[in-house]
C-alpha cells in the first residue's frame, strides 16, 4: 500500500513539473491563435515609408555632403509657414538632449538661412511621394523609416525618434570602443 502511494506521489510530482513548463507554452499558443490578451497598441506614430527612395535619390539641390555623416535625419518639407515649422523642429531637436548630436535636420524649401544644426535645400522637382508639409525620419544610411503628414504632433515624432535612437546604438561610439581594444 505504501509503495502504491509513493508511486502516485512521484507521478503527481512529474505531472506538476511538466505542467509548470507546458502551461506557459499552451497559454502563449492560445493567445496567438485566438488573439486573446494581446495588446493592440501601436509603437510608432508615423507610417512606414517603403515607397520613399533613399536620400541620395531625392531630387534635391544642392546636394550637401553634411548629410552623409551617418546621423539619423529628420527631413521636413517647409512649403507652408516655414519659420514656425523650422522653429518647431529645432526645439524638438534640442529636447533630445545628449542624443541630439546623432540627429541632423534637413529643411526642404522655405527661407534660405538655416537654424543651428540644420541643412537647407530645395526640391529640383516635386516627386510623386512628396506631400506638402511632410516629415520623414531617415536612418543613417538614408533610408526613410517613418513618414508623417503635415500637422503631426511634435510629441509623436519625438517619441518615435527617441525610441529609434534607444534601439539603435551610436555606431561611431561602438567603432571608437572597438579601436581601443588591444
Domain segments of the chain as ranges: 1-41, 47-176
Instruction: Give me the sign of the Cα torsion angle 103, 131, 141, 146.
Output: positive
Q: Give the pTM.
A: 0.70
Superfamily of domain 47-176: Glutaredoxin (3.40.30.10)
Q: In this structure, are residues 87 and 154 in contact, taking their beta carbons and an 8 Å threshold?
A: no
Angle between helix axes 82-95 and 154-167 (nearest 10 degrees) is 40
Question: Cα angle at 163 between 160 and 166, to 5 degrees?
Answer: 150
For 12-62, the pLDDT digits (tens) are: 999 999 999 999 999 998 888 887 877 666 667 788 877 888 888 888 887
CB atoms closer than 10 angstroms to residue 108? 19
Amino acid at each position: 500500500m505504501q509503495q502504491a502511494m509513493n508511486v502516485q506521489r512521484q507521478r503527481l510530482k512529474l505531472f506538476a513539473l511538466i505542467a509548470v513548463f507546458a502551461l506557459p507554452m499552451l497559454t502563449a499558443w492560445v493567445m496567438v491563435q485566438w488573439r486573446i490578451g494581446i495588446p493592440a497598441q501601436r509603437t510608432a506614430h508615423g507610417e512606414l515609408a517603403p515607397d520613399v527612395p533613399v536620400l541620395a535619390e531625392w531630387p534635391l539641390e544642392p546636394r550637401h555632403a553634411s548629410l552623409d555623416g551617418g546621423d539619423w535625419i529628420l527631413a521636413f518639407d517647409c512649403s507652408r509657414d516655414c519659420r514656425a515649422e523650422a522653429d518647431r523642429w529645432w526645439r524638438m531637436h534640442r529636447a533630445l538632449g545628449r542624443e541630439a548630436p546623432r540627429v541632423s535636420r534637413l529643411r526642404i524649401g522655405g527661407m534660405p538661412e538655416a537654424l543651428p544644426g540644420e541643412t537647407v535645400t530645395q526640391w529640383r522637382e516635386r516627386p510623386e511621394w512628396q506631400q506638402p508639409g511632410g516629415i520623414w525620419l531617415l536612418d543613417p544610411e538614408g533610408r526613410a523609416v517613418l513618414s508623417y503628414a503635415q500637422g503631426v504632433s511634435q510629441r509623436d515624432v519625438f517619441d518615435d525618434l527617441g525610441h529609434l535612437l534607444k534601439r539603435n546604438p551610436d555606431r561611431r561610439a561602438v567603432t571608437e570602443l572597438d579601436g581601443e581594444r588591444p
